[in-house]
């Protein structure tokens, strides 16, 4: 039976037989063609007959078709923009890392609650950067600025890097770069199962590979366009067997009817099916659902049938930086979520570490 989370073929865009993203439109910044990866991608899409246009800046791409804002949004999510990352000042990425590693922005998924709805705002297209040597050189500078300390980089702040890895190979480059850094560590999170090209990367244990998981209800209703629970779980097993430190981010923690049983069921399935190798160094990160007023209006515009509950009256307003706050669960409800998840994780994964609840 169809639910709001089941994606119309037209919404999902083109995928290969393996479920890999295939863009409908591709834009290049002229400068990107001066890098081997840019040139390679240009030749690839020319060969495949994907319509290519040039754009003066990856920040302002004009010409993505669509009559309405929603149509433009959907088409933008099927558009690949190949550019050069000029700003080499990395954003902070608390609480999971010191810095965000900028490899890409935008995502092919259509998770209703996704913070990218506002974070990349009017530029929801998929941007990938080809000047990785410059980006890694900057990361090295940040690592050197903290001698004797571990510096962590998060590669999934503005994108799901696994979903586009078949296009650029940048994630593997980043993993191997960080494998060579004594004091550098990489982390990223994904909702996709396309991990095979990363299994032989020389990670040296310096990359924590995390999967985003959720209760069946949340995945079914709010995560169209991503890999299913079972696929993510199988991919997590492969990643653990490849020797990566593994983690799960359970986010957004969402209070649907029967949420306690739903989250218990999810963790029990995980316990039953996860390969034993994965539990040796396992982390969990817990993030409750949150939204802003701007996000709410964009979500309702883009996914008008969504069941996502965003009633400000039922939530607590949490002030953030620069006066920009968000709506989270009221203290009591947040505590219930935290206690339930932490207790179940302790019961089922006694060696695992919960890194934070936020
Ligand atoms: Fe957003 Fe992650 Fe879903 Fe992509 S997979 S739409 S980044 S929540």
- Per residue in 62-113, pLDDT tens? 999 999 988 999 999 999 999 999 999 999 998 889 999 999 999 999 999 9
Alpha-carbon distance 78 to 331, whole Å? 39
C-alpha span between 75 and 69 (Å, rounded): 10
* Substitution site in 115, 160, 165 for ligand 1 pocket (most atoms within 8 Å of beta carbon): 160
3 band by pLDDT with thresholds 50, 70 and 90: very low
Q: Please identify which residue in the block is written with the tokens 């244990």.
A: 205
Helical ranges in 77-228 per DSSP H: 116-119, 132-144, 165-168, 170-179, 216-222
Q: In this prediction, what percent of the chain has a pLDDT beyond 90? A: 88
**pLDDT over threshold 90, residue 12:** no
Q: How confident is the model at residue 2 (pLDDT cuts 50, 70, 90)?
A: very low
Give yes or no for residue 178 having a pLDDT over 70: yes
Pocket test for ligand 1, best of 74, 111, 112, 219 (most atoms within 8 A of CB): 111
Q: Report pLDDT digits (tens) over 25-40.
A: 999 999 999 999 999 9
End-to-end CA gap in the chain: 34
């Amino acid at each position: 039976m169809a639910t709001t989370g089941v994606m119309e073929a037209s919404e999902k865009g083109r995928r290969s037989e393996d479920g890999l993203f295939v863009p409908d439109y591709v834009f290049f910044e002229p400068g990107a063609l001066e890098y081997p990866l840019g040139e390679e991608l240009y030749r690839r899409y020319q060969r495949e007959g994907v319509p290519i246009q040039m754009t003066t800046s990856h920040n302002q791409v004009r010409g993505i078709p669509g009559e309405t804002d929603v149509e433009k949004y959907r088409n933008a999510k099927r558009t690949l923009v190949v550019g050069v990352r000029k700003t080499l000042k990395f954003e902070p990425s608390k609480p999971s890392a010191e810095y965000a590693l900028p490899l890409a922005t935008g995502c092919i998924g259509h998770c209703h609650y996704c913070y990218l709805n506002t974070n990349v705002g009017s530029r929801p297209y998929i941007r990938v950067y080809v000047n990785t040597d410059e980006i890694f050189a900057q990361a090295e500078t940040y690592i050197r600025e903290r001698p004797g300390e571990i510096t962590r980089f998060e590669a999934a702040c503005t994108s799901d890097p696994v979903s586009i890895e078949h296009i650029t190979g940048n994630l593997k480059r980043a993993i191997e770069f960080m494998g060579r850094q004594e004091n550098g560590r990489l982390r990223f999170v994904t909702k996709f199962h396309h991990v095979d090209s990363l299994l032989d990367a020389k990670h040296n244990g310096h990359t924590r590979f995390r999967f985003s998981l959720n209760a069946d209800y949340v995945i079914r209703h709010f995560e169209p366009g991503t890999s299913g629970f079972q696929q993510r779980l199988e991919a997590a097993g492969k990643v653990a067997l490849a020797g990566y430190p593994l983690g799960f981010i359970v986010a957004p923690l969402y209070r649907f009817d029967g949420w306690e049983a739903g989250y218990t069921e999810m963790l029990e399935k995980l316990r039953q099916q996860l390969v034993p190798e994965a539990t040796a160094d396992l982390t969990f990160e817990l993030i409750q659902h949150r939204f802003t007023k701007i996000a709410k209006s964009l979500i309702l515009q883009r996914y008008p049938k969504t069941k996502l509950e965003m009633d400000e009256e039922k939530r607590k307003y949490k002030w953030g930086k620069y006066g920009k706050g968000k709506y989270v669960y009221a203290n009591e409800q947040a505590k219930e979520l935290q206690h339930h998840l932490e207790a179940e994780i302790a019961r089922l994964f006694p060696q695992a570490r919960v890194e934070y609840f936020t």
